[in-house]
Amino acid sequence: MNIDNGYSAKGSSVIGKPLIRQDAHDKAIGRAKYVDDRCDQGALCVRILHSTVANGIVKSINTEEAEKIPGVVRVFTCFDCEKNYFPTPGHPWSVEKSHQDIADRLLLTDHPLYYGDDIAAVVAEDEVAAAQGIRALKDQVEYEELPFVLDVFDAIKEDAPLLHEKYPGNILAHTTINQGNYDEAIKEEGLIKVEGWYDVPTVQHCHIENFECFAYGEGDDRYVCVSSTQIPHIVRRVIGQALNMDWGKFRVIKPYVGGGFGNKQDALYEPLCVWLSMQLGGRCVKIDVPREETFVNNRVRHGERFHLISWLRKDGTLAARKYEAWADQGAYSSHGHAIAAKALNACPQLYPCDNFQGDAWTVYTNKPVAGAMRGYGMPQGSYAFEAHADDCARELGMDPLAFKRLNLMPVGFVHEFSHNELYSDTFNQCFDKGDEIIGYTKKYNEYKKPQTGDVRRGIGVATYWYNTAVYPIALETSSCRMVMNQDGSIQIQLGETEIGQGADTVAAQMAADTIGLTFDKCHTVSCQDTDLTPFGTGVYASRGTYTLGFSVRKTATLLKQKILDYAFELTRMQPYLLDIVDNNIIRKTDGRILMGIDELATTALYSLDHSVHLTAETTAHIKSNAYSFGACFAEVEVDIPMCRVRVLNIANVHDCGNVINPALAEAQVHGGMSMGIGYALSEKLLFDQKTGRPLNNNLLDYKLSSFMDHPRLIGDFVENYEPTSAYGTKGLGEPPVCPVAPAIRAAVAQATGCFINEIPLSPDLLFKKFVEAGLIEKEGGEANV
């Protein structure tokens, strides 16, 4: 059902069209400027000294040798900065103290809490001198080493080393959900108990542009920071908090960004960079994070362990469920418990059950800091929920898809806290469409038959829970400014940032639609500058298209009214009888074109009778959210002796409401699927158990999927217009990654009979599991001695 035109301005030719993205041309010719491309050539280079202990106290750092190195300008250590703790996550700030993010970071710390923590910085004339400075410092640090802990279950033990005094047991937070009466409900006669432990790994975002920022002084006491960030306005606030100065002293500029995926939804090194510039009289200072450090010193996705129990009736319905999960936070709080809590809250919504008992803990460990990453807890949760649903179906002897259709959130379901409602039969529509695309039912039945030979096939399907934006947990606000130029074209400014997903383009499409302009007349300013851009919190939570839609519609409507009011002065026709269609003022009564918008705009600005600047700016405070669901179908071939999985076919079907730009939406789906394939099969950040040192923090050893690891990716949609949304849309940025890993897990299970409760399904893990299952006979033994 595509009903967009019914809700759009008459004659709209922009919504629902695969228009070329605004930045495509500049990016295709290499003209698009990213942070490093904008940096002054004379900028000083910074390298950061990272701790070589996973927990300890820095007793001293002797900087003498490093400072002697030619080209080294200054060495700053943890002893040079004030102990002013600040929070880093890209959440809107809360005026309520109890909802404020945890302030636990320092610019440089004398108590490193993970191997690689930031303890000193070398500022030098060039990168070589900076690196030499770091090498000269490495052996000059005196540590008092403390015991450390890498595993969540070790961390919650009584005798575990404590990372943060305020958080006993290393538990950052623990939340619960209790519905009905679990203990009573499980006593029902004839129930089948299905229990499973599901583990997901720590992974990293791997945007191809590493994080980089540079800072310099402006005027007497202001500082500019140009940063590869998703959240410029939030970063400005965090710099102010970190340096204990007025937030308005800082100006954050975001040029083109080479991918973020949530990593750049934290303040990373911006506060340190500004502080260093400040120490050096406002000289331009650049922090260009090497790839190896991006893996360790930015953010990672939370690894998580799930323990799920379902009590099933013979008819396949759910009598009671128990949920326990432990999320690995790493050393500092960053986005903290929001991730584990999201998955916990999702579970009883996705598969409603009268009796549900759930607990989620977020646990500190001496590892890199987990923060936001595409899916924000839901790739983890979806893997566990869907793997468990498949386990339930198997126990019941049911077709897994039938089990899911039976138990998933029904149409009309309302979630009280968020007011979210499932308005349409989304799950079944997505399943049906995906089944049709990939031939699921036929293949499922074919591969169910006993298979022999080295290479076997299977197919799986999985869904997920997702919503859009952060209401009602946190503030949702979006501001938009539109300025009409003398020729009738407009500039649009928004705090929602373009990071590759296409936000600028959809904003222009929406504005064009509402005002009645053609797409080419609407230009979204891609660069955010906190001195110039209206306040906005940035992009995250798949909120961009949804939230900016509110302020774009509001602003465009206001601008249009101003235009029509001015048209009334010029045409003497009543504003309510006028409209704008394809850049022309028309009279609705007869459709006659009265004048072009270009003529009107020129007159408005230069008129000696009545000069008007046609601009509009509004803020939308958004008090709604929307469910955004879909499914992934994956077909695999497993070479059993080789312990290798090949994805043969894969298709994602999503309902993100009204699709504004199908080409961009499809591309967004491909990217999520790709990240999901990596999550399922190959990606995992590894640590040396003896030291806590990261082992594979580079693009060779961390197995991000290559071009040869993917089949063709199929992304498709069902479009149910979202009634809470300004343009019928809902979240799509993160959802595509969520259902991929469980779909692949199910396919591998069908091919091999091995239901593996851990990802990635990498060769070493498959080897272990295939040996256990007797699919592989273990070699070696005496022969090898």
Partner 1 sequence: MSERQYKTVHFTLNGKPVEKNVDVRASLTDMLRNDFRMTSVKKGCEVGECGACTVIINGEAFDSCIYLAVWAEGKDITTLEGLMGPNGELADIQQAFIDETAIQCGFCSPGFILSAWEILNTGKEYTDEELRKLLSGHLCRCTGYENIFRAVKKTMLRRLGKEEEAEKVNEQGIVDTDERKPFASLDPTVQA
Partner 2 sequence: MYDLKALYEAKSVADACQLLTDHPEAQVIAGGSDVLVQMREGKRAGKELVSIYMLDEMRGISIDEDENIRIGSLTSFSNITKNEIIQEKIGVLGEAVNMIGGPQVRAIGTIGGNTCNGVTSADSASTLHAWEAIVEITGTDGVRRIPIKDFYIKAGTVDLKLGEIQTAILIPKESYENCFGHYIKYGKRNALEIANIGCSVNVRLSDDKKTLDRVRIAYGVAGPVPMRAPSAEEFINGKEINDENIKGFAKSVLNDINPRDSWRGAKDFREHMAVVMAERALREAIKKAGGEA
User: Which residues of this chain interact with partner 2, rule CB under 8 A?
Assistant: 126-128, 131-132, 135, 641-643, 682, 686, 688, 695-696, 699-701, 703, 705-709, 762-764, 767, 776, 778-780, 783-784
Give the contact letters, 162-191, x = binds to partner 1 (CB under 8 A), - = no.
------------------------------
Q: CA end-to-end span of the chain, whole Å?
A: 68
Residue 673 interacts with, from partner 2, partner 1, none (CB under 5-8 Å by kind): partner 1
Whole-number Å distance between alpha carbons of 580 and 248: 39
Residue 475 interacts with, from partner 2, partner 1, none (CB under 5-8 Å by kind): none
CB of 463 to partner 1, least distance (A): 20
Task: Give the total of residues touching partner 1 (CB under 8 A).
Answer: 80
Whole-number Å distance between alpha carbons of 52 and 56: 9
**Binding to partner 1 (CB under 8 A): which residues in 4-33?**
18, 20-21, 23-33
* DSSP-derived pairing of the beta strands 222-227 and 250-254: parallel
Closer residue to partner 1, CB minimum distance, 22 or 334: 22
- Of the candidate spans 265-273, 314-322, 415-423, 448-456, the one that interacts with partner 1 by CB under 8 A turns out to be 448-456
Residue 209 interacts with, from partner 1, partner 2, none (CB under 5-8 Å by kind): partner 1
Which of 525, 704, 765, 771: binder of partner 1 (CB under 8 A)? Answer: 704
Is residue 116 part of the contact set for partner 1 (CB under 8 A)?
Answer: no
Cβ 86 vs Cβ 39: under 8 Å? no
Closer residue to partner 2, CB minimum distance, 95 or 783: 783
Written as six digits, the tokens of 19 are 């228009």
Residue 131 interacts with, from partner 2, partner 1, none (CB under 5-8 Å by kind): partner 2
Cβ 254 vs Cβ 232: under 8 Å? yes
Residue 57 interacts with, from partner 2, partner 1, none (CB under 5-8 Å by kind): none
Is residue 36 part of the contact set for partner 1 (CB under 8 A)?
Answer: yes
Closer residue to partner 1, CB minimum distance, 316 or 731: 731
CB of 413 to partner 2, least distance (A): 41
**Binding to partner 1 (CB under 8 A): which residues in 660-679?**
663-664, 666-668, 670-675, 677
Closer residue to partner 2, CB minimum distance, 176 or 706: 706
Is residue 438 part of the contact set for partner 1 (CB under 8 A)?
Answer: yes
CA within 13 Å, CB half, 286: 20
Helix (H) or strand (E) holding 525, with range, is: none
Cβ 676 vs Cβ 275: under 8 Å? no
Grouping H, G, I as helix, E, B as strand and the rest as coil, residue 494 is strand
DSSP letter for each residue of 260-303: -TTTTSB--SHHHHHHHHHHTTT--EEEE--HHHHHHHS-BBPE
Closer residue to partner 1, CB minimum distance, 485 or 696: 696
Whole-number Å distance between alpha carbons of 510 and 520: 12
Written as six digits, the tokens of 640 are 């059993």
**Binding to partner 1 (CB under 8 A): which residues in 204-243?**
205-210
* DSSP-derived pairing of the beta strands 141-145 and 477-484: unpaired
- Of the candidate spans 88-96, 191-199, 394-402, 454-462, the one that interacts with partner 1 by CB under 8 A turns out to be 454-462
Which of 419, 639, 767, 768: binder of partner 1 (CB under 8 A)? Answer: 639
Cβ 414 vs Cβ 624: under 8 Å? no
The full 3-state SS of 593-662, as one line of letters, equals EEEEHHHHHHHHHHCCCCCCCCEEEEEEECCCCCECEEEEEEEEEEECCCCEEEEEEEEEEEECECCCCH
CB of 705 to partner 2, least distance (A): 7
> How many beta carbons lie within 10 A of that of residue 681, not counting itself?
26
Is residue 286 part of the contact set for partner 1 (CB under 8 A)?
Answer: no
Written as six digits, the tokens of 717 are 């949609």
Cβ 320 vs Cβ 311: under 8 Å? yes
Is residue 708 part of the contact set for partner 1 (CB under 8 A)?
Answer: yes
CB of 761 to partner 2, least distance (A): 11
Whole-number Å distance between alpha carbons of 525 and 753: 53
Written as six digits, the tokens of 161 are 């080393």
CB of 147 to partner 2, least distance (A): 22
Whole-number Å distance between alpha carbons of 42 and 9: 51
Reference 629, options 431, 361, 456; nearest CA is 431
Closer residue to partner 2, CB minimum distance, 416 or 764: 764
Is residue 359 part of the contact set for partner 1 (CB under 8 A)?
Answer: no
CB of 258 to partner 1, least distance (A): 3
Closer residue to partner 2, CB minimum distance, 67 or 127: 127
Closer residue to partner 2, CB minimum distance, 57 or 776: 776
Which of 714, 718, 744, 746: binder of partner 1 (CB under 8 A)? Answer: 714
Q: List Cα–Cα distances, 87 to 49, 94, 213, 495, in angstroms.
A: 21, 12, 18, 21
The full 3-state SS of 155-178, as one line of letters, equals HCCCCCCCCCCCCHHHEEEEEEEE
Which of 86, 167, 214, 256: binder of partner 1 (CB under 8 A)? Answer: 256
Is residue 507 part of the contact set for partner 1 (CB under 8 A)?
Answer: no
- Of the candidate spans 52-60, 137-145, 435-443, 622-630, the one that interacts with partner 1 by CB under 8 A turns out to be 435-443
CB of 24 to partner 1, least distance (A): 4
